[in-house]
């Protein structure tokens, strides 16, 4: 029995009056008595004219409503914050927790028996899952789906790995201004999220791996008719969820997060997803550690050949079998008893899925694309609480070695000096960026993909070791060490690095060390004035006072759940 319209009544000190008043006002929207007695399914709609990736959400929401109505529920959509990745300053990550709080509070405050979360751009799926987990209301995710690729002069392109590739060529003087302007009109040509295995696609795959979507939901292109069928099926499932009252914490268990980490590694997923998955797990009382990531990474091969690690695009992944094919390949490594939002176990889903697979895109576990997982955590005197390297998208020739640090103190310092012809830098140096972490950025801007200094890129250098406390876009590639924790602005050893210091990187040993004596590191840190940059008011003040470091998912300290 669902509570529907009776759920969470407004407090007037008279419950019968509160229900009478609510019904009266609901009548003004034209609902019949019978409609108001149905299970109420909320639809968290993150459409926004500032979010190109969500351009098709009106159509998706209509399809969800169709499914809810067909299954005997009453669908009520409501707006939430939307985070359009490239339309936000200083960076969308600052606002992920705000969106999660919006979702949590509106899902809890409004009378809904279950909720369908519709979103896709990088931070929206994490924010929706974090919010739904905290609200404790049965929830199902509908990812927006990826864009289709475009063509420029016969060449296939997709946001945003190709955005970076062509921009790098333009910086190196290999493309004219007219050509880069022409490419600009062909990189993102349809609705949907970035066309490669970037953060948005990764999070959609992880939502499916966690059991929070209907089967096969992650990879269907945004403009494909199957995407509408996914939305309709999710509406149907949401009504059943309302009846069974299966809360997110029954689906997003510790074992489900292990499954999601396996998938993250096997798809060569985004580094950002480590932060987001840690944050979602934290809302469920599950502590997801980087040590655990390393253990699973050693045992989990990369199966998919997708950009930015490989060659193909998300529409190819969909046509090749998508997530059902990946899950089937990973079957021996997964906890098959995990419950999904549709009520069946993950094992049952795998066993009933279509068995087609295109091995050019999704390899077998016996002949993988890469034999070990796409991501690895590094620890050492430069990153006591960890850092991340996406080895599947990096140059393995740079994995073991030592380099001279060329240091940029901030993003402003980077943009002021990186292309200075007088910059003291060689191809074997390690570029270091400080003060771009959760506090210093703020919001860990996706600046970890430091540009190769122009004088080197023009000489043909395409990759260097780059180290920072920033994040990088899930569509980026290179030998890039990210999320150095603690960050420089929080007094981490990264703050002590000086131009000319030696740094040792060993992916084999999972090490990142500043080759400076510990006493000297501490003396340097003691001399650095701790800038107090807490904003005077508003959300940005809340952010500065409560954001946690990357190893806790950059969630706010007061939003994480007690461990279970």
Q: Which of 53, 148, 214, 323: binder of ligand FES (CB under 6 A)?
A: 53
Nearer residue to ligand FES within complex by CB, 92 or 370: 92
Q: Which of 422, 403, 434, 405 is nearest to 500 (CA)?
A: 405
Residue 92: how many CB atoms within 10 A of its CB?
24
DSSP states of 399-449: SEEEEEEEEESSHHHHHHHTT-TT----TTSEEEE-S-STTTTTS--S--S
**Among the residue ranges 27-35, 70-78, 163-171, 191-199, the one whose residues contact ligand FES (CB under 6 A):** 191-199
DSSP states of 292-303: HHHHHHHH--B-
Q: How many residues contact ligand FES, by CB under 6 A?
A: 10
Residue 397, both tokens: 């020739």
Give the nearest distance from C-beta 244 to ligand FES in angstroms.
Answer: 32
Give the nearest distance from C-beta 122 to ligand FES in angstroms.
Answer: 5
Pairing of strands 150-152, 155-157: antiparallel
Q: Which of 40, 68, 94, 121: binder of ligand FES (CB under 6 A)?
A: 121
Q: Scanning residues 459 to 518, which ones bind ligand FES (CB under 6 A)?
A: none
200 binds ligand FES, rule: CB under 6 A = yes
Q: Which of 38, 44, 62, 61 is nearest to 113 (CA)?
A: 38
**Among the residue ranges 194-202, 363-371, 377-385, 422-430, the one whose residues contact ligand FES (CB under 6 A):** 194-202
Nearer residue to ligand FES within complex by CB, 200 or 256: 200
| Residue 109 DSSP SS3 | helix
Nearer residue to ligand FES within complex by CB, 199 or 253: 199
CA dist 118 and 120 (Å) reads 7
CA 143 vs CA 192, 208, 231, 264: distances in Å = 9, 9, 9, 16
Per-residue interface string for the shown chain with ligand FES, residues 523-542, x marking contact by CB under 6 A: --------------------
Give the nearest distance from C-beta 201 to ligand FES in angstroms.
Answer: 8
The single residue listed with the structure tokens 């799926």 is 125
Give the nearest distance from C-beta 121 to ligand FES in angstroms.
Answer: 3
Nearer residue to ligand FES within complex by CB, 160 or 414: 160
451 half-sphere exposure, CB direction, 13 A CA radius: 23
Give the nearest distance from C-beta 485 to ligand FES in angstroms.
Answer: 25
Nearer residue to ligand FES within complex by CB, 69 or 201: 201
219 binds ligand FES, rule: CB under 6 A = no
* Distance, CA of 330 to chain centre: 21
Give the nearest distance from C-beta 290 to ligand FES in angstroms.
Answer: 25
Nearer residue to ligand FES within complex by CB, 321 or 474: 474
388 binds ligand FES, rule: CB under 6 A = no
122 binds ligand FES, rule: CB under 6 A = yes
Give the nearest distance from C-beta 291 to ligand FES in angstroms.
Answer: 30
Give the nearest distance from C-beta 276 to ligand FES in angstroms.
Answer: 13
What value does the CA radius of gyration of the chain take, rounded to a whole number of Å?
Answer: 24
Residue 359, both tokens: 């091995």
Per-residue interface string for the shown chain with ligand FES, residues 150-169, x marking contact by CB under 6 A: ----------x---------
Nearer residue to ligand FES within complex by CB, 234 or 473: 473
The single residue listed with the structure tokens 């420089």 is 488
Q: Which of 194, 220, 350, 547: binder of ligand FES (CB under 6 A)?
A: 194
DSSP states of 446-500: S--SPPPPHHHHTTT----EEEESS---TT--SSEEE--SS-GGGT-GGGG--TT
Give the nearest distance from C-beta 161 to ligand FES in angstroms.
Answer: 11
**Among the residue ranges 176-184, 192-200, 337-345, 396-404, the one whose residues contact ligand FES (CB under 6 A):** 192-200
CA dist 362 and 365 (Å) reads 9
Give the nearest distance from C-beta 147 to ligand FES in angstroms.
Answer: 8
Q: Which of 211, 73, 54, 68 is nearest to 118 (CA)?
A: 54
Sign of the CA dihedral running 48, 556, 335, 248: negative
Give the nearest distance from C-beta 176 to ligand FES in angstroms.
Answer: 26
Q: Which of 193, 253, 259, 278: binder of ligand FES (CB under 6 A)?
A: 193
Pure H helices in 245-309: 248-251, 254-266, 272-283, 290-299
Residues 375, 387: contact at Cβ < 8 Å? no
CA dist 67 and 235 (Å) reads 4
Give the nearest distance from C-beta 57 to ligand FES in angstroms.
Answer: 12
Give the nearest distance from C-beta 52 to ligand FES in angstroms.
Answer: 7
Which residues, in sequence order, are CB contacts of 221 under 8 Å at separation 6+? 145, 146, 147, 148, 190, 192, 227, 314, 315, 318
Q: Which of 65, 75, 63, 114 is nearest to 231 (CA)?
A: 63
Give the nearest distance from C-beta 105 to ligand FES in angstroms.
Answer: 24
190 binds ligand FES, rule: CB under 6 A = no
Residue 465's DSSP bridge partners are: 430
198 binds ligand FES, rule: CB under 6 A = yes
Nearer residue to ligand FES within complex by CB, 160 or 376: 160
Nearer residue to ligand FES within complex by CB, 82 or 297: 82
| Residue 528 DSSP SS3 | coil
Residue 229: how many CB atoms within 10 A of its CB?
16
Q: Scanning residues 55 to 114, which ones bind ligand FES (CB under 6 A)?
A: 85-86
* Furthest C-alpha separation in the chain: 77
Nearer residue to ligand FES within complex by CB, 161 or 297: 161
**Among the residue ranges 171-179, 193-201, 231-239, 352-360, the one whose residues contact ligand FES (CB under 6 A):** 193-201
Residues that bind ligand FES (CB under 6 A): 53, 85-86, 121-122, 160, 193-194, 198, 200
């Amino acid at each position: 029995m669902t509570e529907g319209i009776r759920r969470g009544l407004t407090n007037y000190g008279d419950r019968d009056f509160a229900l009478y008043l609510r019904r009266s006002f609901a009548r003004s929207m034209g609902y019949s008595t019978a409609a108001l007695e149905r299970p109420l399914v909320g639809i968290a709609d993150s459409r926004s004219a500032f979010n190109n990736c969500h351009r098709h959400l009106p159509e998706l929401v209509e399809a969800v409503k169709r499914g809810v109505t067909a299954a005997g529920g009453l669908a009520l959509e409501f707006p939430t914050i939307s985070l359009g990745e490239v339309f936000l300053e200083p960076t969308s990550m600052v606002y992920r927790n705000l969106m999660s709080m919006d979702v949590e509070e509106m899902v809890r405050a409004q009378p809904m028996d279950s909720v369908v979360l519709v979103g896709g751009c990088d931070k929206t799926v994490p924010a929706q899952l974090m919010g739904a987990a905290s609200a404790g209301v049965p929830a199902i995710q509908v990812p927006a789906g990826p864009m289709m690729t475009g063509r420029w002069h016969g060449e296939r392109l997709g946001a945003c790995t190709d955005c970076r590739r062509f921009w790098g060529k333009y910086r190196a003087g290999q493309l004219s201004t007219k050509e880069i302007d022409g490419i600009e009109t062909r990189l993102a040509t349809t609705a949907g999220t970035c066309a490669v295995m970037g953060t948005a696609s990764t999070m959609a795959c992880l939502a499916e791996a966690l059991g929070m979507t209907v089967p096969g939901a992650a990879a269907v292109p945004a403009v494909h008719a199957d995407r509408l069928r996914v939305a309709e099926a999710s509406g149907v499932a949401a009504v059943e969820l309302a009846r069974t009252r299966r809360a997110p914490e029954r689906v997003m268990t510790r074992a489900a997060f292990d499954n999601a980490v396996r998938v993250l590694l096997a798809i060569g997923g985004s580094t950002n997803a480590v932060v987001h998955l840690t944050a979602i797990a934290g809302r469920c009382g599950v502590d997801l550690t980087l040590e655990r990531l390393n253990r699973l990474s050693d045992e989990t091969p990369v199966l998919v050949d997708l950009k930015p690690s490989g060659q193909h695009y998300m529409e190819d992944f969909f046509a090749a079998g998508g997530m059902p094919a990946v899950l089937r390949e990973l079957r021996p490594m997964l906890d098959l008893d995990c419950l999904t939002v549709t009520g069946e176990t993950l094992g049952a889903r795998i066993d009933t899925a279509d068995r087609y697979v295109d091995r050019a895109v999704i390899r077998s576990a016996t002949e993988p694309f890469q034999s070990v997982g796409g991501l690895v955590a590094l620890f050492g005197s430069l990153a006591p609480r960890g850092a991340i390297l996406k080895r599947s998208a990096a140059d393995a020739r740079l994995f073991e070695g030592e380099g001279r640090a060329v240091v940029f103190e901030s993003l402003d310092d980077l943009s002021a000096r990186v292309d200075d012809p007088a910059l003291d830098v060689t191809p074997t140096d390690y570029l270091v960026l400080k003060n771009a972490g959760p506090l210093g950025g703020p919001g860990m801007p996706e600046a970890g993909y430091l540009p190769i200094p122009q004088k080197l890129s023009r000489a043909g250098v395409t990759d260097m070791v780059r180290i920072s406390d920033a994040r990088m876009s899930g569509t980026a590639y290179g030998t890039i060490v990210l999320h150095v924790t603690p960050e420089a602005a929080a007094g981490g050893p990264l703050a002590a690095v000086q131009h000319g210091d030696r740094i040792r990187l060993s992916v084999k040993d999972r090490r990142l060390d500043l080759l400076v004596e510990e006493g000297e590191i501490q003396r340097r840190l003691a001399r650095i004035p701790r800038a107090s940059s807490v904003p005077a008011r508003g959300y940005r003040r809340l952010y500065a006072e409560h954001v946690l470091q990357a190893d806790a998912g950059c969630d706010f300290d007061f939003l994480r759940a007690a461990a279970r």
